[in-house]
Amino acid sequence: MRGARSLRARNPRTPAEAPDAATSHMTAGGTGGEPPAGQPMRAAPLTLPVLADGAELVGQFKHSGYREPSQLVCLPNRQLVRLPTLLYLVVRTLGEYRDAAPTADPRQTLERVAEDVSRAAGVRITGEQVVYLVDRKLAPLGITSYSDGTPPPVVKANPFLGLRFKMAVLPERATWFLGGLFSWLFRPAVMVVMVAAILVSEVWLFTTRSLGDALHQLILAPVTILLVMGLGVLSCAFHEIGHATACRYSGVRPGAMGCGIYLVWPAFYTDVTESYRLGVAGRVRTDLAGVYFNGVFVVALTLLYLQTGFQPLLVAILYVNFEIVQQLLPSLRFDGYYIISDLIGVPDLFKYIGPILRRTLLRRPADARLKELKRWPQLVVTLWVLTVLPALAFQLGLIATQLPRLFASGWWMIEHLAATAMAGDAGTLELVTSGLQILLLLLPPLGVVLILYQMTRWVVRRLVLYVQGPPEPEPVPDGQPARSTMA
């Protein structure tokens, strides 16, 4: 079954660098727009900007792949914004003065904020320039209020090939409890024993057992497909518990667990945005935890088979192995993708596809997004784009050529199921099993169609922008939503 998948939700957004403090221009209040024709210019009342309700200053993005140090701010919706040091100092200093003197004159307070930021950052900025940075950079990102007291907008990222229609099932308290329940699996001695048991189980399965006989028995008794599918779903859920457990073991809180739709497939997810507080070792541990827990699940199924001799369990073990291989693929937003991302300290790899293709294929100079990366991460991202993109295109093309046959097979099974149901020869379980088989047969081609549609829409938009010319700069830069692991 290729139904339930596991996902993760993590999300640094990447704002543009702050403008040169020596040349910044602003108007006190609002966003500096012009009034309607025929009306006099009125200055909005100036207030001291404040951090958005529920937002939190996280601190340094450890082991990042960017040349300049980056700081993180967590928004109320658990998205993370990556800020350059100057903007982060402005946010932090505004919070300090707001707590110390909430009734002071805003202009005097802003001047003192500018002095403190200037000393900390080693540049010279004024109170007016602080207002400019707030109204043009920070408030549009949802971090602070505007200088006229207007609350910030709710910023929601829309990552390419991201999880959709998410619905939380277990709250943070439940994932925290489950993480504590299984945290002993990350003790070094236990991990050594468990990894050895996983390897022994895999070698035993593929060298001494006949998977062909197990598959043949499964075909003869289709109702057992429901058992295998149920074990597959349970394995996906346990996969997500692994990510939550790794977060708690590393000292950060996992977010909610739930389900959603990835392309067209149902998927489990766990919000592990807090893992961005960790260094590279903690982040990679979180990435690998789901696959590790899949291995623990394989050991449990192996022991159960040794006790019962029930051959469909071997098919379930094989299915869990397919899950592991799928999760380690770096092409889509599965664990393999996040492993590469966390090793090099670059949160969103997909946003570099365009710049790298323009530099590599069109021989254009590297744009600002590439220049902000360190040399080693830039090489890895380039290799990822030039390797994964052709592989993904080949896979999509191969499946697309089989779409007519897959749809024809699905239609034949629908007709066969309808004929069987009308004849009264099948029981309820057989009908349910056949229906799930039809669904699982149709989901892959539907997923390919959706991917092709999204890629075509992306290409058309880029062509339109190329013809019309570049739009006005947006205040909200590229980024991704709260990071969620998927299975």
pLDDT digit string, tens, across residues 331-378: 888 899 999 999 999 988 888 888 888 888 878 887 888 888 899 999
If one compares 286 and 455, the residue with the highest pLDDT of the two is 286
What pTM was estimated for this model as a whole? 0.75
Q: Tokens in use for 303?
A: 């022991």
pLDDT confidence band for 249 (50 / 70 / 90)? very high
pLDDT of 189: 95
314-324 average pLDDT score? 90
Can you give the C-alpha Rg of the chain in angstroms? 26
Q: Tokens in use for 302?
A: 């192996």
- pLDDT, one tens digit per residue, over 463-475 is 776 666 544 444 3
- pLDDT, one tens digit per residue, over 187-224 is 999 999 999 999 999 998 888 777 777 776 666 666 67
436-454 average pLDDT score? 65
pLDDT of 367: 80
Per DSSP, the residues of 300-347 read HHHHHHHHH--THHHHHHHHHHHHHHHHH-SSSSSHHHHHHHHHHT-S
% of the chain beyond a pLDDT of 70:
71
% of the chain beyond a pLDDT of 90:
24
> Phi, psi at residue 159, to the nearest 5°?
-70, 150
Rounded CA-CA distance 99/94 in Å is 9
SS3 60: strand
* Residue 88 confidence (pLDDT) above 70: yes
pLDDT of 284: 94
- pLDDT, one tens digit per residue, over 13-28 is 444 333 333 323 232 3
